[in-house]
Amino acid sequence: MKKLLQSSMLVILSICCVFFCGCAKETDLYSLGLQMTTTMEEIVKNDFYSKYCGSSYVSEERNQLIANDYDTPTKVYGITMFTDAEALFLKFGTITEKEWNELPNSVKEQILNNMTMSRLVTDINAENGSNIFALTNSYIITKQFEGYSIKNECYYLYVFETGKPIIVTFSPSHNGIKAIAQFLITEKVYSLSALRELFGDYDCQVSVIFS
């Protein structure tokens, strides 16, 4: 019975991967994301890494990130961005469309390169103060997973019973998938409606992957 339930879960997760990310083949993004969250647990608990990345001076805030485990999420959400980078910048930037059109293409390119989910999460974390902003920026990890394929960038948000939420960005890359993981510090992760309100301003859709 247990094996049957595990098999059913894998099938459901594979279908979700296809729906959210336009996978060229079945990829278990859920499991790849868990590899990222367990790595986050290792680095946040490692004193040498924390000293190396300059986060040891905010030890009180660091203790808030340390939890019993980051490998057993209570919920996992899929997030889809519908607005392109230019439209998103014009929505929140202090610039008119006319002023935007007058900017050199090189300047616009660099601005749009920063209009990412990672930037969005960083802005949310910054609302918690400079220490949290600096701390969460210290714990951003990347990893390349070869042998997997997706067509479009997509995002999984892992919520834990004791640990802080972690959002994983999956991007298509040469011969595989590039994953970026970072902490998301907000209380609006414990209900679907609150998450939809949080990300709705950025024209993102939030759905349940695992609960």
Beta strand pairing call for 166-173 and 154-159? antiparallel
CB 107 within 8 A of CB 156: no
Stretch among 88-97, 110-119, 178-187 having the lowest mean pLDDT = 88-97
Contacts of 210 (CB under 8 A, 6+ apart): 13, 30, 73, 75, 76
- Alpha carbons within 13 A on the beta-carbon side of 58: 20
The string of pLDDT tens digits covering residues 128-157 is: 998 889 889 999 999 999 989 898 899 999
Q: Is the pTM of this model over 0.85?
A: no
CB 114 within 8 A of CB 88: no
Stretch among 21-30, 157-166, 167-176, 187-196 having the lowest mean pLDDT = 21-30
The string of pLDDT tens digits covering residues 28-87 is: 899 999 999 999 999 999 988 888 887 665 677 888 898 778 989 999 999 988 778 888
Segment 82-99 shows an average pLDDT of 81
Contacts of 163 (CB under 8 A, 6+ apart): 41, 65, 67, 68, 69, 70
Residue 70 structure tokens: 């980051």
102 C-beta neighbours (distance < 10 Å), count: 9
